[in-house]
Structure 1
Amino acid sequence: MQSIQTLHAEAHPEVFKPILDPIPSAFFADLLSDPRNIVLMAEYDQAVVGYLWCQEHPPADSFYEVSAHTGYINHVAVDVARRRRGIGQALVEAAVAELESRGATRVGVDFWSFNAPARAFFAGLGFAAQRQVCVRQLA
């Protein structure tokens, strides 16, 4: 997934490292130990070519939001050489189906504003913008 890291690092070097550090196995162990997490992998020829990490958020009382059972896609990535073959769509749809089976009524995702392919991908899957996050760099 270095190609995705490079794309992000070129657009925002103040945020992203140019070289993706090896992901510690403890990261995935922590994810898999929490039943609210949905972690999916796509394989081709015994190699991982894509993955998705989604988190379920059961309803919670809030003084400002309607209580809702939701999900949030934290990461989704497909190897550049395997894109446009339905892998990303299959990962997202599998996560959505799992969230629906758990009673969720909405799922969210975000992506960086420079990432036009991600914008088109998620729009094609029925995702619509609800908010915009702005950042101001400080000294």
Structure 2
Amino acid sequence: MDEDRLIRTAVRVRRGKLADADVLGELNGLVQQLHSDAEPAEFKAPDAAAAAEFFRGQLQRADMVILLAELGDHVVGYLTAEETRRRDNPFTEAFGMLYIHHLAVAESARRRGVGRALMAAAEEEARRRGLKDLRLDFWSFNEAAGRFFQEHGFDAYNIRMRRAIS
């Protein structure tokens, strides 16, 4: 067995528990800092305590999927997603999807299969719930995220734009 395979199989993904709120708050700081640096008018600076409180609420919702990735005894990444179902209407068909809100991996654990394991677990959860789609968005400044998602089979299907009003 080659070393790359050993590293990937060492990643364990599990469901989040209320007791994980603090570690989620800490890990969120990685992604939050990236966003607040790039878009300070849109995103707040990281606040681990406020994020932990937010995650406590999310962890209690049946429509939320919160997955944690571990290497050994350490949580090194997480993914949050929301089950969304839309009824048909005059404009669109009914559909259900698992919408990925957050994906974060500790810098020390990147390129070790953590993100891949979290995405695979999210896809498995979507299937378990009878959903046919995984969807997500990412900010245009986050080119690494765009490459990662494309490498994992995601294609652009909707372009959002903005214009500031002065």
For residue 126 of structure 1, give the secondary structure of its aligned residue in structure 2: coil
CA distance in 2, matches of 1:68, 1:6: 34
Question: Greater helix share, 1 or 2?
Answer: 2
**Distance (whole Å) between structure 1 residues aligned to residue 74 and residue 121 of structure 2:** 19
User: Offset of 1:7 from its aligned partner?
Assistant: 2.2
Aligned pairs for 1:74-85 (under 5 A) are 74-85=101-112
Choose from 130, 146, 149 the match for 1:119.
Answer: 146
Give the structure 2 partner of residue 28 of structure 1: 55
Matched, 1:69 2:102: no
Higher relative contact order (CA 8 A, sep 6+): 2
String of CA shifts for 1:4-50, please: whole Å, max 9, x gaps: 33322222121123x30124444223212221111001123433211
Match of 1:99 in 2: 126
Deviation at 1:112, TM superposition (A): 0.5
- Contact 2:30/2:104 (<8 A) preserved: no
2:73 equivalent in structure 1: 46
Structure 1: which 5+ runs fail to align?
none
What percent identity do the matched residue pairs reach? 37
Cα separation, 1, equivalents of 2:85 and 2:41: 34
Once superposed, what is the RMSD of the aligned Cα atoms? 1.7
Displacement of 1:125 in angstroms is 0.7
* Structure 1 residues 51 and 59, CA gap change in structure 2 (3 angstroms): same
TM-score (norm 2): 0.75
- Displacement after TM superposition at 1:59 (Å): 4.3
Residue from 106, 110, 118 that aligns with 2:137: 110
Structure 2 partner of 1:87: 114
Q: Pick from 19, 22, 37: which aligns with 2:64?
A: 37
- TM-score normalised according to structure 1 size: 0.89
Deviations 1:86-108 (A, max 9, x none): 10111011011111111101110
Please name the residue that 2:22 is paired with.
none
Question: Quick one: distance in 1 between partners of 2:49 and 2:150?
Answer: 29
Distance 2:49 2:138 in 1: 20
